[in-house]
Amino acid sequence: MTDTVHTATVSTPVGDLRLAVATSSGKERLIALTFADHFERVVAPVRERVPGDWDEGETATTDAVRRYVAGDLAALDGVVVDAGPVSPFRQRVWDALREIPAGTTWSYRQLAERVGTAGAVRAVGSANGANPVWVVVPCHRVVRSDGSLGGYGGGVERKAWLLAHEGARPAGGAGHTCGEPGVAARSLGWFRTTREGHSCT
């Protein structure tokens, strides 16, 4: 049966999110989610994989993303993700990302250890960056070992906002202190990704 794909926009304080949800026999699968200025780039191969009828439309998945942005951090837990056929390694990385609770960060090394490839930090970072379902497969929850943000496809300012929105606190790299836990995490100034490394406000 041919899928129907509904696309939609969800507003956030750091720019619109765009998502694509495939539906078949009444069941929904989230096949792409990015910030709007990256959507066409990320979704191009998804359109080839899911060539059904694409149109603008609301879905229960869209509502879940809106509830997450409004503060219901558990709203995404039940979202079904279909990121397409990928290598077993990449799938393990993406599955592990969904194990990171909202309000928590892992380092790239911790993620590599979780998928059983402790020496493959770069490969884990590459798999993280190839994720087409941002936020729900929460690649933004992976930071450097020293607690600094590292990269993010949508920009580090958005990564900082997502983590602050979730009430995250620094990963606690060696020698890192930030005063009272959880307080600085409410501010976008919590992270600094400068050449000098990580600092807190």
Residues 6+ apart with CB under 8 A from 99: 114
* Catalytic-role residue among 50, 139, 160, 162: 139
Other beta carbons within 10 angstroms of residue 172's beta carbon come to: 15
| 200 carries an active-site annotation | no
Ranges assigned E (strand) in 3-94: 4-10, 17-24, 27-35, 53-56
Please give the backbone phi and psi of residue 160, each rounded to the nearest 5 degrees, phi first. Answer: -60, -40
**143 class by beta-carbon count within 10 Å (0-12 exposed, 13-18 middle, 19+ buried):** buried
Kindly state the tokens that stand for 136.
């729900």
**Residue 73 amino acid letter:** L
What residues act catalytically?
Answer: 139
